[in-house]
Structure formats: structure tokens, C-alpha cells
Amino acid sequence: MCTQILIDEFEAEAVINTGIAGSLNADINIGDLVISTDLVHHDMNAVAFGYPVGQIPQMEAFSFRSDENLRKLAVQACRDVNPDIEVYEGRIASGDQFVADQGVKDEIIKNFDACAVEMEGAAIGQAAYLNHIPFLVVRAISDKADGSAHMDYAEFEMAAIEHSVKLTVRMIQEL
């Protein structure tokens, strides 16, 4: 809804959303950033009507592709301003649940080959897609999506904010 408001009320020409996610890839560690290649709704299930898991009925797109120019810019910007962390590109899966169960995590990986899981990116991508607005979702990894997080959340939060702000400011400067 917020994405639609940005588009309707402020005539947004592009949407860049930052936040946090759980890692679905053992190589992606807490504090690293994931730049979306595309986004899917992992908890959409209309299989009974002949759709694959994740497919929104009557929607042409299965996943919502991030803007390639924004993605490339974000990766380079992150490498320039955040040399202390790794940056990854990949699919992000969104759903209406906090994933902290290994079985749920394994199912999302099997069905979607996603590298991160969170709760809003696919909805942002869907709204931008339907409005033909370029978008990008950037996620700082807060946990391994399996209940094993040990880092102090306040410490993680401050580092994630710093990394995301540096990345976003650099991107805006380059646009």
C-alpha cells in the first residue's frame, strides 16, 4: 500500500526499499547485503486451481524482476561504500511469517531457490511492476532463518542501518 501511495501521491519514478531478511544461503552471513534480482511470494498457494506454489492467480508474472540498472548500481555502490561486508545478488522470497524453522526454510529453498526471506519485498515489487515503475529491494541479513541468531539485535540494527544508508546515498548520488 505504501508503494502505491508513493506512486500515486508523489509520482515516484523508481522505488528503492531497504530492510532486513533472513539468509537462506549458508554463504550469506549476518550483516551481509542481498540485492534483489527478483521477488516471489513464498506463501501464495493456489495449487488447487492449477497454479504453481508462489504464483498469484491471473497474474502474468511469477516473480517480480528488479530493475537491472538499479541492481548493478546498488552492487557497485555497496562495494564502494561498504567494503567491510559482502554483497550478494539473488531472489528474495516474501511471506506473512517470520521464518525461524528449518523445515519451513528448506521448503522455501526447494520451491523458490531464494537466497533471502522476509515479509514485504514481493508486495513492493508487485505494486511497482503493476505500475511499470523500476524498483529494487535491498536486504541486510539479520539471521539465518533457522532460530540460530546469536548477534545482539541492537548491534546488528545499527550496522545494518549504516550500511543501508551509505548504499542508498551513493545510489542517489549516481542516479
**pLDDT attached to residue 100:** 86
Question: What's the rounded Cα separation, in Å, for the pair 64 and 160?
Answer: 24
Q: How far apart are the first and last CA of the chain?
A: 25
**pLDDT attached to residue 44:** 96
User: In a 10 Å sphere around its CB, with 0-12 CB exposed, 13-18 middle and 19+ buried, how is residue 21 labelled?
Assistant: buried
**pLDDT attached to residue 156:** 84
Helix (H), strand (E) at residue 157: helix 153-174
Mean pLDDT by 10 residues, the chain (175 residues): 96 96 93 97 96 95 97 98 97 94 94 97 98 98 74 80 96 94
Do residues 34 and 28 make contact, with C-beta atoms less than 8 angstroms apart? yes
Question: What's the rounded Cα separation, in Å, for the pair 124 and 104?
Answer: 23
**pLDDT attached to residue 87:** 98
Do residues 128 and 151 make contact, with C-beta atoms less than 8 angstroms apart? no
Question: What's the rounded Cα separation, in Å, for the pair 160 and 58?
Answer: 37
